[in-house]
């Protein structure tokens, strides 16, 4: 699982902070609008938040979701991505083998579906089936990994993805709202930590807050952001904004060195001039790489 030899010099990426809810056609319209806006601005990869297309359903609403309509809407997004030559990662809800998943559908800039990342660690939510762990995929010529919201609290998901070669971490969130003020610093810190602890870029999309109804479902606290590998926030939306958060990533700088160091390979020598200090730990991480699933377009 090594990065491709011909890595692009840089990528223009964006996170779309948009307000969506239980009106699925309205959600799709907003998604299409932001895809067109991003493509017109030269964005190459666009991330949407958790449950963006379908809303974040509870147990009761899962029973009423029209999964045929959702599949058609996903195909509409796929065709638009292909037409505009832009990669799109969109939060959705899917049903496969009679099980319901909280998904991130990953579409490359040529319109190919690379696959789905299903949220590994649920925050309760027994109506969702747990996902199968860390993933890696090649989008727009760069290796990347993805997590969804509560997954942030399990940093080995991103550590294994970066150790496998990822240089960008895509984070699709739909977190608690502004009224859960005690959580906000931790939320912001975790986005930054996942980047700087791995020397990889982090791109996070979250739902904005609703100023008219602060306790509304499918509303969060905003603060969608793009973080560089040293923890500097390159662009960040406010709590109530609906806009694209955009930054150009210098891919020559995203080495993933700390994660590679834990494999007992070149990361330690490159960063600190040392060999692997902890062979047993390195063996544990190498064993963990077996859990990393590659999304290569073989399934959608």
Question: Residue 54's pLDDT is what?
Answer: 97
Question: Residue 274's pLDDT is what?
Answer: 65
Dist. CA 118–CA 135, nearest whole Å: 10
Dist. CA 292–CA 33, nearest whole Å: 34
Mean pLDDT, residues 216-245 taken together: 97
Tokens at residue 124, please?
């309760």
Q: Which domain holds residue 107?
A: 11-295
Alpha helices in the chain (DSSP H): 24-40, 59-62, 67-84, 156-163, 184-196, 257-261, 266-272, 279-288
> pTM of the entire structure?
0.95
Mean pLDDT, residues 6-30 taken together: 95
What does DSSP assign to residue 289? G
165: left (phi over 0), alpha (psi -120 to 50) or beta: left
CATH classification at residue 171: 3.60.110.10
Question: Residue 269's pLDDT is what?
Answer: 56
Of 108, 116, 145, the residue nearest 254 (C-alpha): 145
Tokens at residue 46, please?
């666009």
Is 300 inside any structural domain? Answer: no
Question: Residue 5's pLDDT is what?
Answer: 53
Q: Which residues contact 298 (CB under 8 A, 6 or more apart)?
A: 115
Q: How confident is the model at residue 3 (pLDDT cuts 50, 70, 90)?
A: very low
Question: Residue 195's pLDDT is what?
Answer: 97
Is 6 inside any structural domain? Answer: no
């509870």: which residue's tokens? Answer: 58
pLDDT tens digits along 195-209:
999 999 999 999 999
For residue 1, is pLDDT > 50?
no
Find out whether 209 and 221 touch, Cβ atoms under 8 Å: yes
Is 3 inside any structural domain? Answer: no
The total of structural domains in the chain comes to 1
Is 86 inside any structural domain? Answer: yes
Is 216 inside any structural domain? Answer: yes
Question: Residue 273's pLDDT is what?
Answer: 59
Q: How confident is the model at residue 298 (pLDDT cuts 50, 70, 90)?
A: confident
Mean pLDDT, residues 68-72 taken together: 98
Mean pLDDT, residues 64-68 taken together: 96
Is 1 inside any structural domain? Answer: no
C-alpha distances in angstroms, 131 versus 9, 71, 211?
33, 19, 33
Is 78 inside any structural domain? Answer: yes
Residue 5 vs residue 229, higher pLDDT: 229
Is 100 inside any structural domain? Answer: yes
């Amino acid at each position: 699982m090594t990065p491709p030899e011909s890595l692009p010099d840089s990528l223009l990426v964006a996170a779309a902070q948009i307000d969506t809810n239980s009106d699925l056609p309205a959600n799709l319209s907003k998604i299409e609008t932001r895809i067109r806006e991003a493509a017109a601005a030269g964005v190459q990869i666009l991330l949407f938040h958790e449950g963006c297309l379908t809303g974040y359903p509870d147990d009761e609403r899962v029973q009423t979701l029209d999964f045929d309509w959702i599949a058609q809407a996903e195909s509409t997004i796929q065709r638009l991505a292909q037409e505009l030559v832009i990669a799109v990662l969109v939060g959705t809800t899917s049903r496969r083998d009679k099980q319901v998943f909280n998904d991130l559908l990953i579409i490359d800039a040529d319109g190919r579906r690379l696959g789905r990342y299903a949220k590994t660690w649920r925050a309760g939510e027994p109506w969702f089936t747990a996902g199968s762990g860390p993933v890696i995929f090649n989008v727009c010529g760069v290796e990347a990994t993805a997590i969804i919201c509560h997954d942030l609290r399990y940093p080995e998901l991103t550590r294994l993805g970066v150790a496998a070669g990822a240089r960008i971490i895509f984070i699709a969130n739909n977190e608690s709202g502004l009224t859960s003020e005690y959580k906000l610093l931790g939320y912001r810190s975790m986005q930054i930590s996942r980047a700087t602890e791995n020397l990889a870029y982090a791109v996070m999309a979250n739902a904005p807050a609703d100023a008219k109804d602060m306790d509304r479902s499918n509303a969060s606290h905003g603060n969608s952001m793009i973080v560089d590998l040293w923890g500097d926030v390159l662009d960040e939306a406010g709590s109530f904004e609906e806009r694209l958060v955009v930054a150009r990533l210098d891919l020559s700088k995203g080495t993933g060195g700390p994660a590679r160091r834990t494999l007992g390979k070149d990361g330690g020598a490159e960063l600190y001039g040392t060999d692997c200090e902890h062979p047993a730990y390195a063996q544990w991480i190498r064993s963990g790489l077996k859990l990393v699933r590659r999304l290569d377009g073989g399934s959608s």
